[in-house]
Amino acid sequence: MPYLVKKRQLVIPGELIAEGDYKSGKNTYREEDRVYASLIGLANYVGRNVFVVAIKTCYMPTVSDLVIGKVIDMKLSGWTVDINAPYNAMLFTSEFFDRSFDSRRDRMTDFLDIGDMVLAQVIAFDRTRDPLLTMRESGLRKITQGRVIEMTPAKIPRIIGREGSMVNMLKRETGCQITIGQNGLVLVSGKNPELEDLAILAINTIERDAHTLGLTDKISKLLKREKKERGLNVEAKRR
Amino acid sequence: MKRKEDEKLIDKKGLRLDGRRLDEIRPIKIEVGFLEKANGSAYVEWGKNKILVAVYGPREVHPRHLTLTHRALFRCRYHMAPFSTEERKHPAPSRREVELSKVIRSALEPVVFTELYPRTGVDAFIEVLESDGGTRCAGITATSLALVDAGIPLKGLVAACAAGKIDGEVVLDLDGIEDQKGEADLPVAIAPRRNEVTLLQMDGIFSYDEFKKALGLAVEGCKRIHDMQKEALRRKYTIVKEENGMIDEEV
Amino acid sequence: MAESYSAAGAFRKKKISELLLHDKRLDGRGLTDYRSVKVETGLIGTASGSALVSLGKTKVMAGVKIETGTPFPDRPQDGVLTTNAELVPLASPNFEPGPPNEASIELARVVDRGIRESKALDLSELCVVPGKLVFVVFVDIYILDHDGNLFDASALASVSALLTAKMRDYSVKKNGELKFKKDYIKLPLQNYPVEISLAKIDEKMIVDPTLDEEMVADTLITTAIGKKGEICALQKRKTGTYSMEEVLQAVTIAQRKAEEIREKILGEFIDEYEKA
């Protein structure tokens, strides 16, 4: 008799999710006609596709992801960037400069040095080689202002919200620029440190309560309250 | 070997030195996610044993030449704190710790989906803060939980428990004194989903019947441990279940 | 996962420096504020004394073991104190398994100096037979979670473990043999040193640095202060430099904070110890 777990039931690795004619989706595996969870999370299904939404994951790079990374090494061909993934990424000089890199005129460290943080995009990744990044698209740049917060990548969708509802609300209420890296890092850049603190408080709260209902409203109320208590004005000029 | 009356490990009522029945496991406390820096962690108190495990990974392998092309390198390090034993233990790894590191790794590797992360490493560090018999079983039990906590994909959990023989009787879960003075010790680990044995060691003397009984008892013990592991994980993540408002992920 | 972002680079340093201009820190603390401290003792049954210190996210455990041994030839009337520290890999993605490296050796020796120079443990009270048999007190420091300021946390854990340690009462027979009695006694302590570490970042001195702050600091200084405010040990760490005024400033701050910590955190253990 076909078995199927309840929607949004908490499952742990090795737990039976479905038996019968079901497809083994994300974070599950199949043995004969049974599908089991391989990570701890909430089981769900769409049609005959059974999957688990993980509570905690490590970041696996996907082509076209926006990521925030830190330069940790340098070779003649480019920079090695830590993108909070099991594999370090490569940013070739050809993917940084709009023109070709001339080793006589251009010094790599003038542009990116070890320790710099960057906003980049994943352009290639497969199991046989390390992820490749580019910084040539518009908006991609070395990060020079703001603060970077780290969380488990599994919670990033919550920071974004349905069709961006959460992150847009955050930007509105704090007046900060919020750039979200798919790799679990979020860049917050505000007009002053107090507004940045506020945005960070909101983001930490979202991470903690990621699975509650009506979160966008709750966070919006929290921000309004805190702004009043701290006497903050989003329209204030940059100090 | 003649035993004096006060050297008996099982009294006339069939109770052991700490008051347990022959098939009773010591009290166990489990806390998942105890550490901040590690990707996953678990703390287990099993009788007087206190074991802390941290898992890091998947991450780059150091030293690099050990990297495997088609899967992740899974390593375990079992280590005892100098104050964890009655006589102070020298901090440098002993031959026993090296062997236990190896068997613990072998007990867990079968359930880890290492093929999903080629060219990376997953490291488990098992630190024994206080030891009273059965630390490798507690270590395996805790490492399973730490791996789940780290988000490493697994076929299932691994639960471990030891059986043994004291005063001629087959018993479950030997403590320090029973291990020292008993006649046989049989630590076992199973992957409960398919009842597959992933750790099996023995020292001492068993007849075939005694061995069969002890093995059955140990596997039964492992199942009880598995229930406790599941309960500990549910407890940690239960707030997720109660506040049922997670975003649907498009597949 | 790849190397933790806590290893601060140029970007994080910039943020920390910006905040310091307004005397603020990343976690909202003031320059001379400690993170929340919790000390739990008596956790490890196999140790004579043990303590687990949680300083913010940093967690350090210390265990005390007491054994018998021979004294050093140049100090035949004194017991022996040995301090050891393990930076075990479970505590941080940057710790690797292996024999003690310079970081763990420095940590052990600085904590040891605080205890030894303040004469916290009265070694002359640990002699059984001069020149032949003494008690050896092992203090083993175990780092469990590294988020900065391992020195202060380790010193606190060590002293807490010593304060709450119990050893078997004993008498010495005429032939020099040790005879243990049934009850337990405390260790002979006469001082309760506290170590305070300060980091210098952009000319500002901050107390109890987190891992991020330690990584961007120009230099660090750890001071051990005894119960009368006396300075028992000093260690400058990292390659930056201090002016003389800065050194004096650091020591003054350390004396004040040491008194606070001793009273607030060690207070209950000291009271218990002195009453026993």
Distance, in angstroms, between B86 CA and closest chain A CA? 37
For the stretch C195-235, pLDDT in tens is 999 999 999 999 999 999 999 998 899 999 999 999 899 89
pLDDT at C2 over 50: no
The pair of structure tokens assigned to A114 is 């070890």
Which residues pair with residue B191 across a beta bridge?
B196
DSSP letter string over A65-123?
A: -EEEEEEEEEETTEEEEE-SSSS-EEEEGGGT-SS---TTT--HHHH--TT-EEEEEEE
Whether residues A84 and C24 touch (CB distance < 8 A) is answered with no
* CATH code for the domain in which residue A132 is found: 2.40.50.140
pLDDT at B2 over 70: no
Please report which confidence band the pLDDT of residue C8 belongs to, taking 50, 70 and 90 as the band edges: low
- Domains of chain B, CATH where assigned: 28-250 (3.30.230.70)
* CATH code for the domain in which residue A181 is found: 3.30.1370.10
The pair of structure tokens assigned to A83 is 């993108």
Instruction: Tell me the angle at which helices C150-163 and C102-117 cross, rounded to the nearest 10 degrees.
Output: 50
Residues of A in contact with B246 (CB under 8 A): 8, 42, 53, 210-211
pLDDT at A201 over 50: yes
DSSP letter string over C9-51?
A: -HHHHHHHHHHHHTT--TTS--TTPPPPEEEEE---TTSSEEE
pLDDT at A202 over 70: yes
Name the nearest CA neighbour of B100 among B130, B65, B120, B124: B124
Chain B residues in contact with chain A using a Cβ-Cβ cutoff of 8 Å: 39-40, 57-60, 111, 113, 117-120, 148-151, 153-157, 191-193, 230, 233-234, 237-241, 243-249, 251
Residues B93-120, mean pLDDT to the nearest whole number:
93
Residue of C nearest to A149 (CA): C5
Whether residues B37 and C147 touch (CB distance < 8 A) is answered with yes
Longest CA–CA span in chain C (Å) reads 70
Look at domain C18-275 and name its CATH class.
alpha beta
The pair of structure tokens assigned to C154 is 């380790």
The pairing of strands C80-86 and C133-145 is parallel
For the stretch A101-120, pLDDT in tens is 666 667 788 888 888 999 99
Residues C157-165, mean pLDDT to the nearest whole number:
98
User: Distance between CA atoms of C157 and C46, rounded to whole angstroms?
Assistant: 17
Contact call for residues A153 and A41 (beta carbons, < 8 A) = no
The H or E element that residue B137 is part of is helix B135-149
For the stretch B7-37, pLDDT in tens is 788 888 889 999 999 999 999 999 999 999 9
Please report which confidence band the pLDDT of residue C237 belongs to, taking 50, 70 and 90 as the band edges: confident
Name the nearest CA neighbour of B194 among C49, A31, C213: A31
Let me know whether A161 and A229 are in one domain: yes
Q: What is the ipTM of this complex?
A: 0.89
pLDDT at C6 over 80: no
Show me where the domains of chain C are located.
18-275
Specify if A116 maps to a domain.
yes
Q: What is the mean pLDDT of chain A?
A: 89
Which pLDDT score, from 0 to 100, does residue B240 have?
52
Let me know whether A192 and A152 are in one domain: yes
Residues of C in contact with A116 (CB under 8 A): 9-11
pLDDT at A179 over 80: yes
Specify if A61 maps to a domain.
no
- Cβ count within 10 A of residue A84: 25
Specify if A4 maps to a domain.
no
Specify if A60 maps to a domain.
no
**Phi-psi region for residue B227, left (φ > 0), alpha (ψ -120 to 50) or beta?**
alpha
User: Distance between CA atoms of C31 and A226, rounded to whole angstroms?
Assistant: 24
- Domain span at A139: 66-143
Residue bearing the bigger pLDDT, B203 or A99? B203
pTM for this model (two decimals): 0.87
User: Distance between CA atoms of C194 and B11, rounded to whole angstroms?
Assistant: 50
pLDDT at A233 over 80: no
Which residues pair with residue B121 across a beta bridge?
B59, B73
Let me know whether A138 and A159 are in one domain: no
**Which of A25, A42, A57 comes nearest B246 by C-beta?**
A42
Whether residues B82 and C4 touch (CB distance < 8 A) is answered with no
Let me know whether A72 and A152 are in one domain: no
Residues A126-154, mean pLDDT to the nearest whole number:
90
**Which of B38, B48, B130 comes nearest C90 by C-beta?**
B38
- Select the residue from C5, C22, C29 to test the A interface by mutation, using most A Cβ atoms within 10 A: C5
Let me know whether A151 and A80 are in one domain: no
pLDDT at A238 over 60: no
Specify if A202 maps to a domain.
yes
Kindly state the percentage of chain B with pLDDT values over 70.
92
Specify if A59 maps to a domain.
no
What Rg, from alpha-carbon coordinates, does chain B have? Answer: 19
Let me know whether A139 and A118 are in one domain: yes
Residue of B nearest to A27 (CA): B153
For the stretch B133-182, pLDDT in tens is 999 999 999 999 999 999 999 999 999 999 999 999 999 999 999 999 99
Residues of B in contact with C69 (CB under 8 A): none
Specify if A1 maps to a domain.
no
Distance, in angstroms, between B60 CA and closest chain C CA? 7
Q: Which of A119, A143, A167 is a domain's end point?
A: A143
**Which of C3, C45, C88 comes nearest B130 by C-beta?**
C45
User: What are the E-state strand segments in C104-208?
Assistant: 127-129, 133-145, 166-172, 178-186, 194-201, 204-207
Specify if A27 maps to a domain.
yes
For the stretch B172-229, pLDDT in tens is 999 999 999 999 999 999 998 888 889 989 888 898 899 999 999 999 999 999 999 9
